[in-house]
Structure 1
Amino acid sequence: MGRIPAPTPAQGQDGSEPRVLVFTATRGWRHDSIPQAVATLRALAGEAGLRFAHTEDPALFAAAELARYRVVVFANTTRDVLDETQQTALQAFVRAGGGFMGVHSAADTEHDWPWYGELVGAWFDSHPPGLQTARVRFVDPPEAVDGAWRVTDEFYNFKRNPRDRVHVIATLASGDYAGGTMGADHPIAWCREFDGGRSWYTGLGHDPALYADPIFRAHLARGLRYAAGAADDC
């Protein structure tokens, strides 16, 4: 896949140099792929002209702190990671035009917060045991992806099909593997404008090996561009 040209992201909300904050706090299952996710996002942020920060400290979710950033990424977060004050700060960040990007178990986060469920698009419900291989079809195929991309990963079933609320980027061929519950229409990545800001999510990213795949890296790069306001094509 050809390299995506470096964008010119919007500034942080306080007018500072554009930044991305990658958040990987967990209160449930902790994915072995978190280090690979952080390293990949660090590299992609550099290519995109974004200064990079990584934290597991929810105290950074305060209005003055988040104003320094253009994008917040929840990368394999799990369960209840923010208190009510921190939730309010994230909500205000998005409503002020901030970008949100969710990777894999970002959909298994904050199940008791309805606004977050709308932000991420759909919550995790279940997954078959182990890694399996299936075709992922992009709705608007990126450069050099001919037909379908075969991916080995952990595949999420979601509590609802988000199609009527989001722009679907990619779908999963559920018939390729055992244990899918979504039926023939199984969105696995999507984006949307939401509550004044932008949201982008991919259900992929469980397996550490996937972060070395150039197609997956390009997929994440497009999401980062979109969430940063550097492109309308997600």
Structure 2
Amino acid sequence: MASPLRLCMLSGSFEYDSEESLGLFREHLAAVGGFDDTLIVYADEDDDPSLAAIDDTDVVLVFTRRIRVEGAELDRLKAYCAAGRPVVGVRTASHAYQNWLDFDAQVLGGSYNGHFGGGPVCDVTAADDAAGHPILAGVPRFGSVGSLYKNTPIADDATLLLNGTTPDSTEPVAWTRLHEGGRVFYTSLGHQQDFRDAAFLTLLTNGVSWAAGHI
């Protein structure tokens, strides 16, 4: 029997109730099977919990927003990324740490520049030439009520998987790339309601599995 995929999730996006949302994701992973997950929770933007668990994980998933820490634990995450180890970023991971805003461009391959207003449902569809990518297996076209993030342009070496379209705008909402040889998957989706959508949960599960090299 194959060993379970070890996933360490960092929760600290309070605007999007990341602890509750990642709890729903953990329930989904338990139902799917094959995952051994750990959740590290930031109590507030100034909390600085130990990130020691990332040293022995297969994938780190970042869902934090403007955490203000600096020092040994943030350096631990920087070292993890610099070593080319697998990373998954969700929504506000594009501005995950106030003292490491370059995480977006350097690691995720994004260029976060705010977001459009809330209201219109975002139509999430596969990008041209993305059909057949393993992350999109079992992921139908779906809608997201979260505001559309401005992420144009993404890195030249990124592979666009999904676009999000509102009546006025289209933006990339999911892509992959390599950082220091390690696989990276990012999605700007991740509104509370997304974590109650089977299509999004499948997308995120596949993204974790792909980052680890399991698919």
Indicate if the aligned counterparts of 1:79 and 1:111 stay in contact, CA closer than 8 A: yes
Indicate if the aligned counterparts of 1:46 and 1:52 stay in contact, CA closer than 8 A: no
Query: Structure 1's 131 and 137: CA in aligned 2 closer, same or farther, altered over 3 A?
Result: same
* Secondary structure in structure 2 of the residue aligned to 1:102: strand
2:190 aligned with 1:198: no
Aligned to 1:168: 160
TM-score scaled to structure 2, two decimals? 0.79
CA distance in 2, matches of 1:193, 1:145: 22
CA distance in 1, matches of 2:116, 2:174: 18
1:28-177 matches, cutoff 5 A: 30-32=15-17, 34-44=19-29, 47=32, 49-57=34-42, 58-62=48-52, 65-75=53-63, 77-113=64-100, 115-117=102-104, 118-139=106-127, 140-141=130-131, 142-143=136-137, 148-158=141-151, 160-173=152-165, 176-177=166-167
Question: Tell me, which stretches of 5 or more residues in structure 1 are unaligned?
Answer: 1-6, 10-16
Indicate if the aligned counterparts of 1:111 and 1:123 stay in contact, CA closer than 8 A: no
Cα deviation for residue 81 of structure 1 reads 4.5
CA distance in 1, matches of 2:81, 2:112: 22
Question: Tell me, which stretches of 5 or more residues in structure 2 are unaligned?
Answer: 43-47
2:179 aligned with 1:189: no
CA distance in 1, matches of 2:75, 2:187: 24
CA distance in 1, matches of 2:155, 2:207: 18
Aligned to 2:195: 211
Aligned to 1:228: 212
* Secondary structure in structure 2 of the residue aligned to 1:226: helix
Q: How many residues align?
A: 203
Query: Structure 1's 46 and 22: CA in aligned 2 closer, same or farther, altered over 3 A?
Result: farther
* Secondary structure in structure 2 of the residue aligned to 1:210: helix
Indicate if the aligned counterparts of 2:81 and 2:107 stay in contact, CA closer than 8 A: no
Aligned letter for 2:67?
Answer: D
Indicate if the aligned counterparts of 1:20 and 1:45 stay in contact, CA closer than 8 A: no
Indicate if the aligned counterparts of 2:5 and 2:35 stay in contact, CA closer than 8 A: yes
Cα deviation for residue 92 of structure 1 reads 2.4
CA distance in 2, matches of 1:103, 1:195: 20
Query: Structure 1's 46 and 130: CA in aligned 2 closer, same or farther, altered over 3 A?
Result: same
Indicate if the aligned counterparts of 1:94 and 1:198 stay in contact, CA closer than 8 A: no
Aligned to 1:23: 10
RMSD (CA atoms): 2.7
Q: Which runs of 4+ in 1 moved over 6 A?
A: none
TM-score scaled to structure 1, two decimals? 0.74
Query: Structure 1's 212 and 78: CA in aligned 2 closer, same or farther, altered over 3 A?
Result: same
Aligned letter for 1:225?
Answer: S
Indicate if the aligned counterparts of 2:9 and 2:61 stay in contact, CA closer than 8 A: yes
CA distance in 1, matches of 2:7, 2:30: 7
